[in-house]
Structure 1
């Protein structure tokens, strides 16, 4: 079991903020379920979370969210954004005086579990800018201490985790409007007015001025500033925020080197500079450092043999075989997560390329174009690994 402190807002970088961490976790294919419980939610926080959810749509089969609405902490607009996510979502509300104040973000998979518990609400500032502290607990699902901790959390909040609590209200346009009409949930305008922090530079009227030193603040990524600001992918967010995400294999002995390139070229990296050279969006699997192989067949018949290969149905391309490989990209030590990468093989033996013994297999960079199109990667080496204990689990490391 691994326990990590997530601090943010107390200094200007906060690379271990809850927001940065959640962005990374949503790219992990080892999780299939997410449950978030937050005292408050903001429009910007939910919009940013929607990008994370979209990035993990292929892996996450269960998405749950419970938010509180006490003290007008969650606006009507935030609830509407939650409803638009199309996930299993609820409001928790009780009339009694105790306010609903937990913040729990739970990621569960077949073999792994990660829990974040702390002070960060599902808001842009709660995820990035506020001074917050949380603990992240990571463990394998056969770890006794981890199992015990998860059971204690789920037992204590049992009626939240099984959604049977009488004070849970399934989020819908009708339910949102009812809480607004009751004066419990504020409109966006009222919410913004109430939650605007006084940052005025006007001096107090008192005789003795209160001197408050200026302090650097944390940059909030554009995705977490509202729907109409920007639409970056989670991978771009990781780059933009320079998330400290140093990669290490969990079990290095399980990862076998399948291929290693020579020095990467501008064309390989989708950044050709010649006037007559266009970006191809792909890279051929050339022999690289491998010895004694026939690069025309090796990658289709050995490296990627177990993928689900199908012939293209597009006119003029029906001779091409294509398959999708789930590949983790690690560039300069930073783990950017797993991407669905198209591998294409040309099985024809009557072409000039085949006669010249060139490679007939290539990968399409797809979503990772912006990650690999960097001048500083020219001449670097790409190494492809496969975890021999997991079906079709590939890692591409460029360094």
Structure 2
């Protein structure tokens, strides 16, 4: 099995563009079947494909094409050009919010198979001009790795490859006109606004008779929708997705305890409750369980001394030193991953806090603020570890 990277648009010639590669493949008489699946298609892309098909007309027995029409990415002209190809062609469309976005070009013969999977749509720019990345996989049909790969793809997209999917619409002038009349397929090349999917439950216009079946949709993990809402929600998500995020040190003896807090308070955890509790978004590194330290200097000079410290350049804050620590957060035994946490130290010795021997160093919760702002963490303790074998590898465990 041979795997080749097809890159294009990042330099001037792009000899290994998907478009140039497909032109060569269509001219090879070792293939008898072509199946293309593309999120979008343009008039120019389809016209170019028609010339490729014509060059291989003598030995291609089956020609299949599936295109998406989301986000007005495929015009009426492109669909009409596909219809004129006279091949087995379909539109894939669903009302639900996920867009149809695969790009797969499959060439199959009696003894050989070539598969291209990547980012190139069936458009002139997608095949030649845009900065795109794809992989081409070539193998003999008795190659076990190749067979396994192709089987996985065809099994996953089974209802596309056997053309039984309920959201496939066989391309014809009637179907094209119905999608145009619904406002889903644009009639012009340039549009003033992006088309949004019609996710309502309204029935199509009676004179149109275009029925689009409902389709189950995948849930997007909360951490890809924005900041975590809470560690309870994320824990529930992890359970639903059957992700093992339980935590244990790979080599516990390499992890040194740098600091352990006392019982965490509402203020520490950024949970505003009473009138005297203000959400600060940060936590002071108080002495905690450490003995015989000067908490005014200890954390800057001993705990985080290897970080790259710089003075703040903001007006009025130029006396503050700041550094960023990459800290893994483990809460109640669940590993939430590594976050960039800003550590701030005030080196001034003339402040009331310094004279009262208070801590002069604190961390800003940043992106983890909503992870730790939980009532059930009040009274628990935080322990900061450092892996002595890895530079600046910190772990904060709250339990």
TM-score by length of 1: 0.49
Q: Which has the larger radius of gyration?
A: 2
Instruction: With a CA cutoff of 8 Å and minimum separation of 6, indicate the structure with the bigger relative contact order.
Output: 1
Normalised to the residue count of structure 2, the TM-score between the two structures is: 0.49
